[in-house]
């Protein structure tokens, strides 16, 4: 009996230790939007030695090149889908707008995903108008479900119904918690990065969105290496998508 108990403890203790070691207290994901326009800044973001996720615009000059580069480095790629905002009429190529019928919305989404190699899911680029319309969001989420994609609500409007309708349609979804660089200033970005950490500590997880600005790049280079000491893991967005469903 004593021998059996000792064997049990010998086996159990390493397993518990390993589990504690690999499971951090909290996780964060950081999505870098607007990949495709800024070649040099985009490359520098992709070259960061970190599990960032890259949201690529479907019709930008460097769309395919940068999406392929991220994938080659083992990074996750998303479609950054242009959607109409409250600030004006649809103007960006391929943008989903409020006057589109369902078949046009679906075709635009298919074309956009075809333009972004390796895209596993999608978030909205702008979209403060479109994401508050249940009808259009239902069409979008049906297409996402049929394509096997996930969705991240960038929350460009507090009135967004995108997350709720994604749940209704069975689309894996999370929402943004923090915009890191709404103000493109190093001190402001550091403040928002720390706010992201505090949200993650409170909830166990958090999602931040940044952009390929030199200021954002500088803050990430400085602050990402501090996460391990805080017992926080930087994970690809699919990790959170899968963990919250």
The stretch 59-70 carries a mean pLDDT of 97
The fourth-level CATH superfamily of domain 24-244 is Glycoside hydrolase/deacetylase (3.20.20.370)
pLDDT in tens, 209-240: 999 999 999 999 999 999 999 999 999 999 99
pLDDT in tens, 102-158: 999 999 999 999 999 999 999 999 989 999 999 999 999 999 999 999 999 999 999
pLDDT at 11 over 70: no
The predicted pLDDT at position 9 comes to: 37
Residue 35's pLDDT band (boundaries 50, 70, 90)? very high
Residue 42's pLDDT band (boundaries 50, 70, 90)? very high
The predicted pLDDT at position 90 comes to: 55
Q: Which of 32-41, 98-107, 232-241 has the lowest mean pLDDT?
A: 32-41
What's the rounded Cα separation, in Å, for the pair 206 and 4?
44
pLDDT at 4 over 70: no
The predicted pLDDT at position 104 comes to: 98
Please provide the average confidence, as pLDDT, over all residues in the chain.
90
The predicted pLDDT at position 139 comes to: 98
Residue 207 pairs in a beta bridge with 29
What's the rounded Cα separation, in Å, for the pair 209 and 193?
10
pLDDT at 178 over 90: yes
Q: What's the Cα-to-Cα distance from 69 to each of 54, 64, 98, 142, 237, rounded to whole Å?
A: 11, 8, 33, 30, 18
Buried b or exposed e, range 164-179, using 16+ CB within 10 angstroms: ebbeebebbbbebbbb
Domain ranges across the chain? 24-244
Percentage of the chain lying above the pLDDT 90 cut: 82
């Amino acid at each position: 009996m004593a021998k059996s108990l000792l064997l049990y403890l010998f086996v159990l203790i390493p397993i518990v230790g390993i589990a504690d070691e690999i499971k951090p207290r909290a996780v964060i994901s950081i999505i870098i939007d607007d990949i495709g326009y800024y070649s040099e800044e985009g490359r520098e973001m992709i070259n960061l030695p970190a599990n960032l996720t890259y949201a690529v615009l479907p019709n930008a000059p460097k769309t395919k090149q940068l999406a392929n580069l991220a994938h080659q480095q083992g990074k996750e790629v998303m479609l950054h889908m242009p959607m109409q905002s409250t600030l004006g009429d649809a103007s960006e190529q391929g943008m989903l707008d409020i006057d589109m019928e369902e078949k046009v919305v679906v075709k635009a989404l298919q074309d956009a995903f075809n333009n972004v190699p390796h895209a596993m899911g999608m978030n909205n680029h702008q979209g403060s108008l479109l994401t508050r319309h249940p009808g259009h969001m239902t069409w979008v989420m049906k297409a996402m479900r049929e394509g096997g994609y996930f969705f991240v609500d960038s929350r460009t409007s507090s009135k967004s119904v995108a997350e709720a309708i994604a749940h209704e349609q069975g689309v894996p979804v999370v929402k943004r918690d923090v915009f890191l660089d709404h103000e493109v200033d190093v001190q402001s970005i550091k403040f928002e990065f720390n706010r992201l950490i505090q949200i993650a500590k409170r909830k166990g997880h958090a999602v931040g969105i940044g952009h390929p600005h030199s200021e954002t790049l500088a803050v990430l280079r400085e602050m990402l290496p501090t996460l391990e000491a805080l017992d926080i893991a930087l994970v690809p967005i699919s990790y959170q998508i899968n963990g919250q469903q």
